[in-house]
A = this chain, B = another copy of it.
């Protein structure tokens, strides 16, 4: 991929300058119905109304997207690449689903060439669905991490991933030991963390499949490498929470298991949190940890309804991103994930506006991953990962959205909501990574 030093994209742009959960949408949403994005070496050099920037940049090679909507690339804050092939596995809730489907599938990722094939397929799916950054579970095998990062590096993607740490309550074929998980993770961090756009996440699967010793090793790694992430599961399912209480009788609750191991930090991302107590939400807020809200997964496994309004409470706010959680999630699309996030909120008599949902999928996700200085909006200096959405991608969307380009926030909200309810990968017209077009159907 050759890069022009300077080039421009013209079209309708939508992103956020603040969090619409706390700041009125009129002040947090940024919409340029005719905007210009100027890129220099993959980063954003200028951004504003075309009319204002025209004089200075009209000479640049410019790609024009008319009647489309350009937004920052989607950020998937929780997904398992080795589970791609077992998406839509029938009939179980969390713990049985892990035993019946997940562990056998993940055991295949001891084979690095198999892992490479799936990693490439997975990353291609992400780009086709408009996802440009993800926080990713690999399998227990270090080579499954190598395969993933090699594939991501090839595509110049900002990806965060880690080797699963899992030393009990799982088949031997997919277990490590506390000691080996520490050594292997340590080596992987040294090999991959901050190599180009890649980042490492220390990744114990969850409290049930790690001994206390292993969780303490995970905490030790966070001490040794202060800017790596912690990525695990938390309070997804009622039976899981009960099992954790049995395994850790001395802990005050599920989150406390992680807290006692030093895993609750401002670089920690916990998937699900469906069953969290009020005190646990407060603790996550105080620690500046993040939750990955994974509605398609929570519905598919019957885990329950995440309390988005509590997580985003102004009194004790928690960082939240959206996660597809494939393979328990049922779509790679963050549009479809927003669809079901809206439905989860509706069942709880809460409203998740389209702007709030898009925030979660973009700048909110970047904040959850502490990447907001690099990604998640069109602010100057950020890396130019963005996507072009087609509001008329299917006949039904075309009928629903009509012909006009939105000229008000209300019209824009309506178009965006239709995209979330009716859109999927077909609505992704183009995906750019560091200013380069990498996917167009």
Task: Give residues of chain A (329-363) contacting chain B, Cβ–Cβ below 8 Å.
Answer: 330-332, 339-340, 342-343, 345-349, 351, 353-354
In angstroms, Cα B418 to Cα A351, docked, is 30
A354 to B340: give the CA distance in the assembly, Å.
21
A420 to B399, CA, bound (A): 25
> Closest residue of chain B to A84, judged by CB?
B399
A304 to B420, CA, bound (A): 21
Q: Does A374 contact B (CB under 8 A)?
A: no
A5 to chain B: which residues have CB within 8 Å? none
In the complex, what residue of chain B is closest to A414 when comparing beta carbons?
B90
Q: Is the interface of A mostly helix, strand, loop or mixed?
A: helix
Q: Smallest CB-CB separation from A339: which chain B residue?
A: B330
- Find out whether the CB atom of A399 lies under 8 angstroms from the CB atom of B301: no
Q: A90-B354, A91-B351, A349-B93 are in contact. Are A422 and B330 (CB under 8 A)?
A: yes
**B417 & A93 in contact (Cβ 8 Å cutoff):** no
- Expressed in whole angstroms, the Cα–Cα distance for A336 and B368 within the complex equals 30
A87 interfacial contact with B, CB 8 Å:
yes
| Residue count of chain A within 8 Å CB distance of chain B | 45
Instruction: Take A93-B346, A353-B91, A421-B88 as given contacts and tell me if A332 and B302 are in contact as well, using a CB distance cutoff of 8 Å.
Output: no
| Chain A 83-124 interface residues, beta-carbon cutoff 8 Å to B | 84-88, 90-91, 93, 121, 124
Known A-B contacts A302-B346, A349-B93, A414-B90; A400 and B85 likewise in contact (beta carbons under 8 Å): yes
Is A314 an interface position by the 8 A CB rule?
no
Which residues in B have their C-beta under 8 angstroms from that of A84?
A: 396, 399
Residues A300 and B330 in contact in the complex (CB < 8 Å), given A125-B395, A424-B424 = no
Q: Which residues of B contact A420 (CB under 8 A)?
A: 88
- When all copies of this chain in the complex are counted, the total is 2
Q: How far is the CA of A170 from the CA of B346 in the complex (A)?
A: 24
Whether B399 pairs with A85 at a CB distance below 8 angstroms is: yes
* Residues from chain B with Cβ under 8 Å of A299 in the complex: 340, 343, 346-347
A60 within 8 A of B: no
In the complex, per-residue mask of A398-415: 1 if CB is within 8 Å of any chain B CB, else 0 = 011000000000000110
Q: Is the CB of A87 within 8 A of B330?
A: no
- A93 to chain B minimum Cβ distance, whole angstroms, is 7
Q: Which residue of B lies closest to A331 (CB)?
A: B422
Chain B residues near A124: list those with CB within 8 A.
395
Known interface pairs A125-B395, A339-B330; A88-B417 also in contact (CB < 8 Å): yes
Closest partner residue, chain B, to A304 (CB atom): B347
Chain A 292-304, CB-CB to B under 8 Å as 1, else 0, gives 0000000111101
- Taken together as a complex, chains A and B put the C-alpha atoms of A121 and B394 apart, in Å, by 12
Contact of A400 among B87, B305, B340, B414 (CB under 8 A): B87
**Complex: how many Å from CA A330 to CA B343?**
10
Contact B88 A302 (CB under 8 A): no
Q: Smallest CB–CB gap between A393 and chain B, Å?
A: 12
The chain B residue sitting closest to A90, CB to CB, is B417
Cβ–Cβ < 8 Å partners of A351 in chain B: 91
Given A125-B396, A332-B396, A395-B125, residue A343 in contact with residue B302 (CB < 8 A)? yes
- A417–B340 CA distance with the chains assembled, in angstroms: 19
**Which residues of B sit under 8 angstroms from A301, Cβ to Cβ?**
346
A418 near B88 (CB under 8 angstroms)? yes
Q: Determine whether the beta carbon of A87 is less than 8 Å from that of B346.
A: no
A302-B347 contact in complex given A90-B354, A121-B399, A396-B332, C-beta closer than 8 Å: yes
Smallest beta-carbon distance A261→chain B, Å: 31
* A187-212 interface (Cβ within 8 A of B): none
Does B125 contact A346, Cβ atoms closer than 8 Å?
Answer: no
Among A368-403, those with CB < 8 Å from B are 395-396, 399-400
Residues 319-335 (chain A) with a chain B CB within 8 angstroms = 330-332
- Extra 5 A-B pairs, beta carbons < 8 Å, given A88-B400, A125-B396: A85-B399, A86-B400, A88-B420, A124-B395, A299-B340
